[in-house]
Chains A and B, each alone.
Chain A
Amino acid sequence: MRIGVDVGGTNTDAVVMEGTKVLGWVKTPTTPDVTSGIVAALKGVLEQTKVSREEIDAIMIGTTHFTNAVVERRRLMETAAVRLGLPATECLPPMVDWPPDLREAIGDHKYLVHGGHEFDGREIAPLDEKEIRQVAQDIKKKGIKAIAVSAVFSPVNPSFEERAAEIVREEVPDAAITLSHEIGRISLLERENAAILNACLGELAKAIVASFREGLKEMGIEAPFYLSQNDGTLMNAEYAEKYPVLTFASGPTNSMRGAAFLSGVKEAVVVDLGGTTSDVGMLVSGFPREASLAVEIGGVRTNFRMPDVLSFGLGGGSIISTDPLRIGPQSVGYELTTKALVFGGSVLTATDVAVAGGLADIGDPGAVKGLDKGLARDVLDEIQSMVDMAVDRMKISAEPIPVILVGGGTILVSRPVQGASEMVKPEHFPVANAIGAAIAQVGGETDRVYSLEKISREEALAEAKEEARNKAKGAGAEEETIKIVDVEEIPLTYLPSNAVRMRVKAVGDLTIT
């Protein structure tokens, strides 16, 4: 038995699954401390399905904690960025392209030291242990506990990052150190940015993981828990403490994977209508289409494998202002069940209008009886056109394509979306994201440049595949189930030397013991 949990801005959802069967689900309000909301959802769903705590094999949690922390610049640690690259890279120091307020929020501590590699594995400069030790001592003096280490071409040769980390750890034993090659891909600034974001989230990650652990323990659940990553795979608690940044954008990925699973449709546009925002994405062969450009998080460019998602401020909790007519982006969020008119509150929300328009029967319909019929119609028309437009932007051709509606806010859409070949509202649609979390696999990815002067293309590809498999295994995949799901080969251009960049991804089923 698996339990999938999705923590959104408005609701925390939990679902119990046995194999591919959904046994039951609940939706509860997200709480400011997050964990108590998760506990409430778990309690609710166990009660509903009569599943005992012992029957649970694993709990998969998708959470927006870490994205929110960066966006809101809250609970971030002072972080030192150490880059091995001198004499190269000096003109663009770490965090050079960050929004100043975020850079200030983590202290703007940056150090450039000698080292790094060329594309073909030669050293740019030898590693200078003394120099790194001095940097480490300075970091210690400043009392900084979060450190991101990056080195030029570390995805090709990680040894300098690893050695630098050893030295730093000798000087600052209690520091949490993030190595860039473990997170990002080739492209120094974006990978380094991801590593720094990861480092500054270290304390929060520990606190969140501890509070999950605590919450589950209080409930008497001994099953291991996992966090959803942005590529639709899982990581265990220890890994999540170390790599919180990998949870970024996992929410939309989960709902799209869940939508594909529930509907059986593999090529479609998925519209996930939440409480505060809605996400629209394209499913290609059952997986979210990946963003092709660098993805910004809180104003910082990163180069993760992120889903290509269009988000806009429409949800069940969207606040409606009437003069002039405006829907969102402000939302009552998790306070929907106290602030909306149908729940006895005093704020006009999208949900109230849906009830007034007869699209849903929630709360007390009497509370919206007096609502102007013309206004209700205008609001619902506007909502429909917002969704139509978003779907049209994400579609890959003018040809009609299935549109899958999921999420708690689907009550807002009653008419067929323009350009849809069919409208699919699968069973259990309100909790597609939690289901996406529950069905997730574990994976491993490698991204390296190979110089084809020493080895053949086939050997390089075999090596890359082996590395991806090993990483998947390390993440907890059952060895027999590991499959290579993606191979991307990019020749290095403009130069006659034969070098190629290989990106390989492997996934497998989670080992459940």
Chain B
Amino acid sequence: MRLLYPENVEDIALGAAVLGTGGGGDPYIGKLMGIQAIHEYGPVSLLSLDEIEDDDLIVSSAMMGAPTVMVEKLPKGDEIIRAFEALENYLGRKIKATMSAEAGGLNSVTPLTVAARLRLPMVDCDGMGRAFPELQMVTATLYGISATPFAMGDDKGNGVILNTVDNRWTETFSRSIAIDMGCTALIACYSTTGRELKEWAVPNTISLAEEIGQTIREARATKSGVVEAVRGVVGGFQIFKGKIVDVERRTVAGFARGEATFEGIDEYTSHTLELNFQNENLVAILDGEIVVSVPDLITVLEAETGEPITTEGLRYGFRVVVLGIPCDPKWRTPEGLALVGPRYFGYEIDYTPVEERYGRQSKES
């Protein structure tokens, strides 16, 4: 157990943007909310998975909606508290801890608000090890854990509890309700026992985000190679270094899909990388061949500052380094790949783990 103070939250939020693989929403608002809650209610304790009792009830908390709206209509603050209370009433049990459903992006730090206010510990884990666009895309789904009963709350005091036949239906209904709530809602979901959680969670991801953030901060201060330092911490591989020469975006069924094209520089001169994204980066195509795909993480970092660049922030002229980072092994099972593999997103290819292609090159360099 250790305590999270505002300075830890800063680092977690920065590192979470790297794990966000281009999506997951800007952690800025979530970070401010977490820091504000810690100022008012005191530091949040972060527990490792092995500190959780088998019978404890743990509930994930998250924000749902459009990132562009979240930065405009900020939450009231107690939406998530009421969602937790509604869920406790419904289940007739006390919630012992909360956790992040998604360590990438905004939702890495969302649980801090409810943790600080209700004095609940937060568990050092999440359900993705990265960010994904849909709610059922968590490792919990692979272990038969239901997203429901699913509580959502808005700024006006409305609360909704959903019960659905599977997690994909939860996604469908909750998204329609989120629109009616004004494109933002706070959600409490994936009720699970400590015993179950130890099986399905992606462990230590909050600490990982913090370590990434700390690495970026320190490397910047000493003006040493930020990108290389981040690569070391995440255990990833440099896929490409180049300049963004074209970005194309379109909206398909509410998702921002698009492609970005990078022209190689330095050792990648005369090579071209194409990145396809749907909120998050999906596949990286080097000279016409897919070299990294979901569920592995594809992260774009500004070459000098190491600043993670979101898919919305991709702009002509940026000099960037593209990293491929191995995903949690749970995603590499047949069930995992069926849920979040390349074919789910419309790419008729077999998934190849990033280290199989890049492992050797990396050792040489």
Contact = CB atoms under 8 A, between A and B. Distances in A.
Contacts of A497: 179, 183, 254
Nearest to A154: B72
A153 B73 CA distance: 7
Interface string B136-179: 00000000000000000001110000000000000000011011
A324 interface: no
Interface string B251-282: 10111100000010110010000000001000
A19 B69 CA distance: 46
The SS class assigned to the A binding surface is loop
A125 B157 CA distance: 12
A97 B6 CA distance: 12
Given A88-B76, A119-B183, A495 B254 contact: yes
Interface in A271-302: 282, 284, 289, 292-293
A500 B74 contact: no
B255 A116 contact: no
B281 to A, nearest CB: 14
Given A88-B75, A92-B33, A393-B304, A118 B317 contact: no
A188 B71 CA distance: 6
A92 B243 contact: no
A92 B72 contact: no
Nearest to B74: A89
A91 interface: yes
Contact of A88 (B29, B74, B254, B256): B74
B312 interface: yes
Interface stretch (A131-139, A161-169, A230-238, A486-494): A486-494
Given A87-B155, A119-B66, A495 B72 contact: no
Contact of A493 (B75, B76, B256): B256
A501 B263 CA distance: 29
Contacts of B175: 495-496
Contacts of B42: none
Contacts of A91: 33, 36-37, 74-77, 113
B72 A153 contact: yes
B68 interface: yes
A493 B183 contact: no
Contacts of B64: 494
Contacts of A284: 317
B67 interface: yes
A400 to B, nearest CB: 13
Contacts of B74: 85, 88-89, 91-92, 152, 188-189
Q: What is the interface residue range for chain A against chain B?
A: 35 or more
B22 to A, nearest CB: 11
A292 B311 CA distance: 12
Contacts of A85: 73-74
B32 interface: yes
B318 to A, nearest CB: 7
Contact of A396 (B182, B243, B253, B312): B243
Given A189-B74, A495-B183, A92 B32 contact: yes
A112 to B, nearest CB: 10
Nearest to A185: B72
Nearest to A122: B182
A86 B133 CA distance: 29
> Which one of B32, B157, B178, B182 has the greatest number of beta carbons of chain A within 10 Å?
B182
Contacts of A511: none
A485 interface: no
A92 B36 contact: yes
Contacts of B263: 397
B315 interface: yes
B324 interface: no
Contacts of B265: 397-398
B107 to A, nearest CB: 12
Contacts of A87: 76, 155-157
B68 A186 contact: yes
A92 B69 CA distance: 15
B249 interface: yes
A153 B64 CA distance: 18
Contacts of A116: 73
Contacts of B318: 292, 396
Interface in B275-293: 279
Interface string A74-100: 000000000001111111100011000
A48 interface: no
A501 B77 contact: no
Interface in B32-66: 32-33, 36-37, 64-66
A498 B315 contact: no
Contacts of B249: 490-491
B315 to A, nearest CB: 6
B16 to A, nearest CB: 17
Interface of A: 85-92, 96-97, 116, 118-119, 122, 124-125, 152-153, 186-189, 282, 284, 289, 292-293, 393, 395-398, 449, 490-501
Given A88-B73, A91-B113, A153-B72, 15 more contacts: A118-B183, A119-B72, A119-B183, A186-B71, A186-B72, A187-B72, A396-B317, A398-B266, A398-B269, A491-B256, A492-B69, A493-B67, A494-B255, A496-B253, A498-B251
17 contacts: A87-B76, A87-B157, A90-B77, A91-B76, A92-B33, A97-B32, A119-B68, A186-B72, A187-B72, A293-B307, A493-B255, A494-B64, A494-B133, A494-B254, A494-B255, A495-B66, A501-B68
Q: List the 9 closest pairs (A to B, CB-CB), nearest first.
A: A91-B77, A496-B254, A491-B251, A88-B155, A493-B256, A118-B182, A89-B74, A396-B317, A492-B66
